[in-house]
Amino acid sequence: MTVAQDVVKTMLAKGYTLSKDALIKAKALDESYQVSATAAAKIAELSKRIGLTDRINAGVDRVRSVDERYHVSETTKTVVSATGRTAVSVANSIVSSSYFSAGALLVSDALKKAAEAAKDLAAYGKKQ
């Protein structure tokens, strides 16, 4: 993505309305001053000078090596899967529990009584 595209994307995200003409002018301005191309060249030069790409690749290789040796990704997937199954099992146990059913009936009854009291109160207020 070019700098101009990033600026336009940000402006649109913030609610600005841009006409097609404005986009064409922005692209022409970027091309005439070579802003995007210059920025990309400077970043590539800096990366080459300090070896950023090589360092990132080395870091990725180390992470991959550790993952292959200790099976971190596989273990994480297994743990997440087991946790999900356990959560579903616990939720099913709670819902099927007689205590849950009794509590649900109690809450339902309390809400029903509160609704009746509100209705009676409203009717009393209309009489006055």
pLDDT in tens, 42-92: 888 887 888 877 888 888 888 888 888 888 888 888 877 878 888 777 777
Count other C-beta atoms under 10 Å from residue 53's C-beta.
11
Closest CA to 48 of 38, 36, 56, 37: 56
Statement to judge: residues 67 and 24 lie in one domain: yes
| Residue 30: band (very low, low, confident or very high) from pLDDT cuts 50, 70, 90 | confident
| Residue 126: band (very low, low, confident or very high) from pLDDT cuts 50, 70, 90 | low
- pLDDT, mean of residues 25-39: 82
Structural domain tally of the chain? Answer: 2
Statement to judge: residues 78 and 102 lie in one domain: no
CA–CA distance, 16 with 14 (Å, rounded to integer): 6
CA–CA distance, 113 with 107 (Å, rounded to integer): 10
Statement to judge: residues 93 and 117 lie in one domain: no
Statement to judge: residues 77 and 30 lie in one domain: yes
Statement to judge: residues 92 and 109 lie in one domain: no
Statement to judge: residues 120 and 79 lie in one domain: no
| Residue 31: band (very low, low, confident or very high) from pLDDT cuts 50, 70, 90 | confident
Query: Domain range for residue 113?
Result: 98-128
Statement to judge: residues 92 and 107 lie in one domain: no
Statement to judge: residues 122 and 59 lie in one domain: no
Statement to judge: residues 90 and 107 lie in one domain: no
Contact 3, 36 (CB under 8 A): yes
